[in-house]
Amino acid sequence: MNVIKRIYSLEFKGIITCILPILMICFLANELEAQSVTQYQGPDLSKLNNFSKKANSAITAPFIKIENYIQQKQAERQAAKNKAQAIKKSIEDKNTITKDFSIDSYHPIKIQFPKWKLANFNKILFKNKSNKNEEVKISNLKLRQIKKSEIEKLRDHVADINSLVYQIELKKADYINKKNELESAIEKLNQYDSLKKILKNEIEDIQLVPTASIAIPVGFIDIDEQIRNLQLLEKIPSDNSLTIRPYYSNTKLNYSKLLNLIDTNIKYDGLLYKDRNTNISLLPINFLQKLNTNHPYGWNDGAMSYSKGYQFQVSGGVFLSWKNFKIQLRPEFVNTANDKYETSSSWGQVTSNIKKVLPGQSSIRYDFGGLSLGMSTQNLWWGPGDYNSMLMSNNAPGFFHYSFGSNRPLKSFVGNFQFQLVAATLTQDTTQGYENKNLKTSPKLNKSRYYNALVISYQPVFMKNVSFGITRAFQNYADNNVNGAVPKYLPVVGSFFGSAYNDTINRDQILSFNTRWVFPKNHAEVYFEFGYNDAKDNFRDLMVDMSHSSGYIYGFKKLNYLNKLDYLNFGAEVTRMAQTPSYLMRNAGNFYEHGRISEGYTNNNQTMGAGSGFGNNMQTVNVSWNRTWNKFGLIFNHIVQNPMALVSGVEDVGLRTIKWEDFSYGIQSRYRYRNILFSANLELVNSKNYLWMDKNKATNIYAFINTIFLW
């Protein structure tokens, strides 16, 4: 900057030095012109000397003043610099053009020139052909209409913004109130004298020992499904694997609180009497309806039959507890259907309808801590599957059994354990068809069978929200002469391989392994179950032909919040119950049939495991919108009916040449009206090659409606 100022100063001196000779020449020219009319007498040197003195004095005077001014201002250089910067900024804002001149080692001097006003070139119009049509021609009336429309739009936007501002102000006020309440609560908690009074409910809740109470019936009353969703939504703890059901409510999370977690508008008050040791409550009334318009379809419906037509089931009851004794009486009345439908020699038979009262979901038990010992006819569910279970579901009616197991997760230093040991007697009905015999009746099968099963679930302490389970079941005819109490009554605790025990008696073993992985933060789960329908003879047999007599179920569920109340439910499940290609070396038959037990894995002629059908493969996909109890969704099922049955010749390696497939498209819904809970499943079932007959099509409408009346 100083270099530039020095250049400006030198240029100024140079200009003055050049002007002086020019002025002198001009003066001499004027003198010569004035004397041109007279005789030349020589130049007047006196006048020239006087002019030179005056010019020199006039020129040097400013420089003397400048030098004096600079010397005076050297002591105030820093202040003058700040002032010059402020003046410069002010001048720039006023469009004042300034130039700085400086002399070497001198402070710069600002000389202000006159203001120049720049021309507004935007107003200059240049001739252009395209500018001729720039002006838009429009009538005044139309112009006023456009103006009015634009003003209305802008006013609407202003109104919308005002509304948003108002909502924000309301939210702000709510948050401020909540903040004040929280700060007030913190201040109260800091006062030790009132601490116990304020935290009375929390202290009582911690000190309360949870004891099991009402058992939530398995499957079809929908509350069972909602409990699974509550766990994924982090509303109930995930320490329960939910692979051993029924689920038991307890003193901390009773039936009323459970319903309130599902929907805060549900008010259930079935309590009749309560004191310190006694509790008497009414159970909800359940009215279940099922309809098939063309042929049998549907599963996981308890005592209802696999038939065509309309049928219904009604249940209700009472729960009583006295100290550690718990009695749940919930009988069922069922009226099944027997409409005629198209059958063939290989599948289907119309049987008589059934009208009877059953014990239903009833039980008597004694609880000691987290363990229960009792007897029951209620349905059981073992495994992680959502639509199917390999060893135990509510597809068949409940059977009378003795049980010993956990009623809540048992905590230990290595993790949580749950288990159930069951001993039962299985029955059959000679008037009805067997599901594992293509709905054909078999009057000769009328033997009593003993059933023994054990299911264990383990959740490691180092793998939170992950559970591993094993289920093993034996059945044999009651008239078998088996020596020893353990082999006869508790074969499930014996060896896994057939060579280690007497496998020559009429006995059937079925086994499965399962795992369930829950991701509460992501509101999701994945699960898998793999099982065998026949015992392996030894370890070599297991490794050489691992797929022999096997089946599996795997699936996932994902809940995705849309807002604080609404969420989407995505789910899919795959079930394979048909045998694998290893049948070419050793035929295993399908799941739920065995050469030594003719009735197969059934109770009252219905399969106790996967209800999708005997030897069937099934894929299910569903998506639904949910808000509290309410739900609306879509479901798709694809079922391949017993594709690996050996019914053909050698040229077809024994398999069917025609595939019977069912394609089901459905709507699922739930709705609450006051204390009445509705749920419905309506499906259109298109059967391709029905009855394994080529190009034989059948269309069936399947409806499953459940109504729950809460007290």
Per residue in 674-701, pLDDT tens?
Answer: 899 999 999 999 999 999 999 999 999 9
| pLDDT for res 693 | 93
Q: Which of 494, 698, 531 is nearest to 610 (CA)?
A: 531
Asked whether the predicted pLDDT for residue 46 surpasses 70, the reply is no
For residue 145, pLDDT over 50 is answered with yes
Question: If you average pLDDT over residues 175-193, what whole number do you get?
Answer: 82
Region 632-640 average pLDDT: 96
Inside any domain, residue 468? yes
Tell whether the model's pLDDT for residue 99 goes beyond 80. no
- pLDDT score recorded for residue 129: 46
> Average pLDDT for residues 186-213, to the nearest whole number?
72
| The pLDDT value given to residue 422 | 97
pLDDT over threshold 70, residue 93: no
Return the top range by mean pLDDT from 179-188, 353-362, 638-647.
353-362
Report the half-sphere exposure of 20 (CA within 13 A, side-chain side). 16
Both 636 and 522 in one domain: the answer is yes
Which of the listed residues 96, 112, 128 is the one where a domain comes to its end?
A: 112
CA dihedral of residues 202, 208, 211, 212 (deg, nearest 10): -10
Provide the pLDDT confidence category of residue 660 given band limits of 50, 70 and 90. very high
* Total tally of structural domains belonging to the chain: 3
Chain segment 5-40, per-residue pLDDT in tens: 443 444 444 545 555 555 555 554 454 444 444 343
Q: What is the average per-residue pLDDT within 156-164? A: 88
We report the CATH number of the domain holding residue 420 as: 2.40.160.130
Share of the chain above pLDDT 90, in %: 46
Residue 118 pLDDT > 50, yes or no?
no
Res 448: pLDDT:
85
Instruction: For the chain, give the percent of residues with pLDDT over 70.
Output: 77
Rounded to an integer, the average pLDDT of 565-581 is 93
* pLDDT at residue 115 greater than cutoff 80: no
Same domain membership, residue 358 and residue 265? yes
| Claim to verify: residue 45 and residue 58 sit in the same structural domain | yes
Bridging pattern class, strands 355-358 and 332-335 = antiparallel
Q: Which residues of 442-459 are buried (b: 16+ CB within 10 A; e: fewer)?
A: eeebeeebbbbbbbbbbb
- For residues 101 and 148, membership in a common domain is answered with no
Q: Once rounded to an integer, what is the mean pLDDT over residues 283-302?
A: 94
Structural domain contains residue 498: yes
Cα dihedral 290, 294, 299, 305, rounded to 10, equals 70
Same domain, 396 and 520: yes
Let me know whether 315 and 187 are in one domain: no
Residues 672 and 585 in one domain: yes
Query: What pLDDT, on the 0 to 100 scale, is given for residue 38?
Result: 39
Q: Which of 170, 205, 240 is the last residue of a domain?
A: 205
Average pLDDT over residues 109-115: 51
Judgement on whether residues 75 and 166 belong to the same structural domain of the protein: no
pLDDT of residue 597: 85
Within a domain: residue 117? no
Pairing of strands 363-368, 401-406: unpaired
> Do 623 and 682 reside in the same domain of the chain?
yes
- Asked if the model's pLDDT at residue 423 lies above 80, the reply is yes
Q: Which of 302-316, 437-451, 537-551 has the lowest mean pLDDT?
A: 537-551
How many C-beta atoms surround the C-beta of residue 661 within 10 A? Answer: 15
CA 582/CA 542 separation, integer angstroms: 13
Q: For residue 221, what pLDDT is reported?
A: 62
Q: Which of 172-186, 218-232, 616-630, 651-665 has the highest mean pLDDT?
A: 616-630
Of residues 68, 65, 47, the one with CA closest to residue 57: 65
Per-position DSSP letters for 544-574, written without gaps between them = HTTTTTEEEEEEEEEEEESSSSEEEEEEEEE
Q: Which domain-ending residue is among 112, 132, 164?
A: 112
| Best-predicted range by mean pLDDT (130-139, 359-368, 438-447) | 359-368
Sign of CA dihedral 352, 356, 360, 364: negative
Looking at the domain assignment, is residue 132 inside a domain?
A: no
Residue-averaged pLDDT of the chain: 82
Domain around 38: 2-112
pLDDT at 711: 87
Residue 118 lies in a domain: no
| Domain co-membership, 49 together with 185 | no
The predicted-structure confidence for 478-532, as pLDDT tens digits, reads as follows: 877 777 788 888 989 877 766 555 556 778 889 999 999 999 999 999 999 999 8
pLDDT band at 593 (very low <50, low <70, confident <90, very high): confident
**128 lies in some domain:** no
Question: What pLDDT was estimated at residue 609?
Answer: 93
Confidence of residue 461 (pLDDT cuts 50, 70, 90): very high
